[in-house]
Structure 1
Amino acid sequence: MKTIKVGMLGLGTVGTGVLQMIQNNEEKVLNVTGRQLSVKTVLVKHPENHQDVADQVRLTQEIDDIINDDEIQIVVELIGGLHPAEEYIRQALLHHKNVVTANKDLIATAGPALVKLAHENHCDLMYEASVAGGIPILRTITNSFSADKITEVKGIVNGTTNYILTQMNQQHWSYEQALHKAQELGFAEADPTNDVTGKDAAYKMVILSQFAFGTQLTTEDFSVTGIDKLAGFDVEQASQFGYVIKLVGIAKVVGDGVFVEVAPVLVSRDNPLATINNEFNAVMVTGEAVGDTLFYGPGAGGLPTANSVLSDITSVTKNLVLKTNGNLFNNYQRHYVPAEKAAVAYPYYISLTMPDIAGQMLKLTKIMTAIGASFSQIVQAKNTVNGLARVVIITHEMNEEQLREFKEKVADEPSINLTAAYKVLE
């Protein structure tokens, strides 16, 4: 029986899970592919910390031990970050080795160049685990939606922020309390910047947009807002209106363009995304034929992510057997055209502070009238602080251009301060 030798870069939580799953699922992989998988060599920084597997694999600190080994046909990159991961993957592809990675940062930034390099060297480059952990969303979009036109992909694609927001909503914790607990439980890194500023979710939306719409864009092409400035007041007020606040990534066809954004959003309790709590992820794909479909599961963690990695390894193994390596993971390509701001319309939740005196609401009404927008609901919080009233509004649909005008006019009104403006999803 032929054996496919695998080299791994990194043996952290996910790497350990991959090694465990390859060993535990040996029979099923053999049944599906006709080949056995064997992890031959693993690149680690500190071999002394992994002596529990030293009798199963070769541990090395030298990338050349994997790159120059002709027996190794698949390289699995699990070290994360941009460098030296990009250099290692390039070396592997140039040595005609197929690559599987879970590195969303790298795929979102250098993905097109690496995909081109893989194709030129007749190698596979697969990265299912780069988005939504254990949810097989990329392969589902590629295969199951190949005959349907996708009009929107939106979802909760960061488990750290979803855990924090769940605790702020359900336990009424402050942002700082919820973040600290997330770090205690391992849902947040010691430095959670990429998660809480929305950068991690933005990388994933770049990849989802590529698969759904064929567009090549970067995180510089769209607005990214995290939860690090989110006020507990707005979480509570949203709840009173019948919504929960979630960090949502949206990629949507609007007219002849595509609208992409990552930001806190008020989600109606009747919306399926409102029920996605704690560290779980969910991606809703909307097709012209099938309508809305929801994919739910753990967005991170050793074994869920390892499952997606092993799925890619199995696909590469099938291609090795059939001698079909080198095909693109995602064949859909289309020129990216940003949607017109005037065509992107949503209701908005707007939170403001203003002096608790007569005439202030009239100023606000005049601003809304001037931009051609209107209120759906308006509430003044009962308590004033230092003579300032907190006013919250749910608007009827406003487009992005109207929102820009609203912000400009409020900024010109010294007595009114805008503290939040979030989209509303019914």
Structure 2
Amino acid sequence: MLRVGLIGFGTVGSGVYERITNSKDKLKQLLGKEVEIAAILVKDRQKQRTADVDAFVTTSWEQFCNKANFDIIFEAIGGIEPALSYTAEWLERGVPVVTANKKLVAEKGQILEGLADQHSTYYGYEAAVAGGIPIINALKGTLATTAISRVSGILNGTTNYMLTEMIEHHRGFADVLLEAQELGYAESDPTDDLEGFDAWYKIRILSRLCFGSWPLANEFPRKGVSAIKDWHVEVGERIGFKIKLIAEAWHDGTQVRGSVKPAFLTQTEQLASVRGVTNGISIEGESINQLLFIGPGAGKEATANSMVEDFLFNERTKHSERGWGVGSEVQNEQLTHSFVFLTPAERETALQWVKENQIAVMDTYSHHEGEGWIIERTDSTPFETYPIYGDVSTRRRVEAIHSAQFGSF
């Protein structure tokens, strides 16, 4: 008998319970023993969601710990504490822990992996990144010896849904945010999504898997989507550019760099086709060129499935480690141009700025709320600016009402 302890019984926790309960025969066939959920730790016993559960349910940590000699713990409560203390306790006992807690993994993963190694067990976190996409164990398993130079992706389904609606249906930011909350894609407090924290946690986890070390938080700058104006999206859409929240990490020859930021993708970029709440991850390296993973980034069933599959993967490959190798260095050569957006009041200052700094302006686009300029990439600008990924020559040319004036620079 393989005894399971489940910490948390919200959306993800209940999904894990259902996934294990509904696949007991298959799990027995694969593991050679029956699987039993021996105990569930919940925060509030008054909630009715555990009424029909065939397992011991408690709000007491002590009762939970003493209920059984657990063989595996599934942690599904989120946040740092008490998840960190709970996870550390079981790893120190030599019991493996599988989690979907991206914040905990990103912030404390180095400590928890160290405990797992020290006590000859494992810490699984496949479900912490991109929900149903098996990217973590692909990196650990199928791509275990593959040198990787860059990982990038659309890692937040909420913001991708919002931006897709704004692009395809010309809707306003506030309108689609309200709908995302009504549909359950965004929380009542959507800060983690809108300010890029969710994608930031995930890209730091992917960076560790791709390049072998946990990045410090201050090494990966973060910018969310809250500053995006409706007319920025509209101008981009008119010329065939799609705005996305892009998380990426790459090796520049000396160190790993990374970021989370909104960016415009041209028609040549594969991630431009990732719509709605779907996530997409691109892995690049000399021997693989580019691999693209697309699938559900969240959801009860997808996340629970990833947790159970993570457990099975680790049971079959206990104590294996990815053989990290860094591919040829990348200097972020994909970024050759930027999109600058100017209000009417900023136009004269911008004209002077490009002249003084000898910035080449490739194209200009007019909107009743301002102007969008495509410029050669520069390290920083005093205006609202987005990087452009891909070949800008593929854009659809629309009216450019200021082209003649740029000749006077």
List, as ranges, runs of 4+ consecutive aligned residues in structure 1 with deviation greater than 6 Å: 338-341
| Corresponding residue number in structure 2 for 1:291 | 289
Residue 353 of structure 1 pairs with residue 358 of structure 2: no
Residue in 1 that maps onto 2:401 = none
Residue 218 of structure 1 corresponds to 216
Letter in 1 for 2:342: L
* Cα gap change, 1:363 to 1:312, in 2 (>3 Å): same
Which residue number corresponds to residue 303 of structure 2?
305
1:50 Cα deviation after fit: 3.8
Q: Distance in 2 between matches of 1:12 and 1:225?
A: 29
What is the one-letter code of the residue matched to 1:422? Y
1:421 aligns with 2:385: yes
- The match for 1:392 among 350, 369, 372 is 372
Which has the larger displacement, 228-237 or 60-69?
60-69
Q: Distance in 2 between matches of 1:285 and 1:251?
A: 10
**Deviation of the 1:44 alpha carbon:** 0.8
The equivalent of 1:380 in structure 2 is 366
Q: Contact 1:225/1:263 (CA < 8 Å) preserved in 2?
A: yes
d(CA) in 2 for partners of 1:288 and 1:269? 23
Shift of 1:11: 0.7
Shift of 1:300: 0.3
Name the structure 1 match of 2:164: 166
> What is the distance in 2 between the residues matched to 1:148 and 1:240?
39
Alpha-carbon distance change, 356 to 155 in structure 1, aligned in 2, over 3 angstroms: closer
Q: CA deviation at 1:257?
A: 2.7
Q: Deviations over 1:397-425 (max 9, x none)?
A: x2xxx323xx2xx4xxxxxxx2x211111
Counterpart amino acid of residue 336 in structure 2: Y
* Alpha-carbon distance in 2 for matches of 1:309, 1:257: 31
Cα contact 1:119–1:328 (8 A) shared by 2: no
The 1:36–1:113 alpha-carbon spacing in structure 2 relative to 1, beyond 3 Å, is: same
Pairing partner for 1:63 from 29, 38, 61: 61
The answer to whether structure 1 residue 28 and structure 2 residue 26 are counterparts is yes
**Aligned residue number for residue 132 of structure 1:** 130
Q: Quote the offset at 1:25 in angstroms.
A: 1.5
The Cα shift of 1:317 comes to 4.0
Structure 2 residue runs of 5 or longer lacking an equivalent are 391-409
Distance in 2, matches of 1:356 and 1:330, equals: 50
Q: 1:49-88 residue pairs with structure 2 within 5 A?
A: 49-50=47-48, 53-88=51-86
**Percent identical:** 31
Q: Do 2:235 and 2:365's aligned partners in 1 also have CA atoms closer than 8 Å? A: no
What is the alpha-carbon distance in structure 2 between the residues aligned to residue 333 and residue 120 of structure 1?
Answer: 24
Q: CA deviation at 1:69?
A: 4.1
1:30-57 per-residue CA deviation (whole Å, 9 max, x = no partner) reads: 2222122111100112223246554511
Does structure 2 conserve the Cα–Cα contact (< 8 Å) formed by 1:124 and 1:329? no
Pick closer, same or farther for the CA change 1:178–1:356 going to 2, 3 Å: closer
Aligned to 1:239: 237
Q: Which amino acid aligns with 2:77?
A: I
1:144 aligns with 2:142: yes
**Cα separation, 2, equivalents of 1:356 and 1:147:** 51
Q: Deviations over 1:155-206 (max 9, x none)?
A: 1000111111111111212111111000000000111101100011000010
Alignment of 1:403 with 2:388, yes or no, is no
Q: In the alignment, what sits opposite 1:201?
A: 199
Structure 2 CA distance for aligned equivalents of residues 23 and 222 of structure 1 = 40
- Give the 5 Å matches for 1:336-347: 345-347=335-337
Q: Indicate how the Cα distance of structure 1 residues 134 and 45 shifts in structure 2: closer, same or farther if over 3 A, else same.
A: same
Tell me the SS of whatever aligns to 2:131.
coil
Residue 202 of structure 2 aligns with an amino acid whose one-letter code is K
How many residues in Structure 1 have an aligned counterpart in Structure 2?
A: 388
Letter in 1 for 2:215: L
Aligned-partner residue type, residue 186 of structure 2: A
Residue segments in structure 1 that go unaligned for 5+ positions in a row: 411-417
TM, length-normalised to structure 2: 0.89
**Alignment check: 8 A CA contact 1:246 1:266 kept:** yes
Give, in whole Å, the separation in 2 of the partners of 1:218 and 1:194. Answer: 19
Shift of 1:214: 1.1
Contact 1:98 1:316 in 2 (8 A): no
- Per-residue displacement from partner, 1:54-103 (whole Å, max 9, x unpaired)? 45111010122333344211111000001110011111112222111111
2:355 to 339, 342, 366: 366
RMSD of Structure 2 on Structure 1 (CA): 2.4
Partner secondary structure for residue 307 of structure 2:
helix
1:125 and 1:328 in contact (8 A); partners too: no
Number of the residue aligned with 1:119: 117
CA-CA distance at 1:233 after TM superposition: 0.7
TM-score for both structures, normalised by structure 1 = 0.85
Match of 2:405 in 1: none
2:177 to 140, 157, 179: 179
Q: How far off its partner does 1:29 sit?
A: 1.8
Distance 1:378 1:368 in 2: 18
Is the Cα contact below 8 Å between 1:257 and 1:340 reproduced in 2? no
SS at match of 1:251: strand
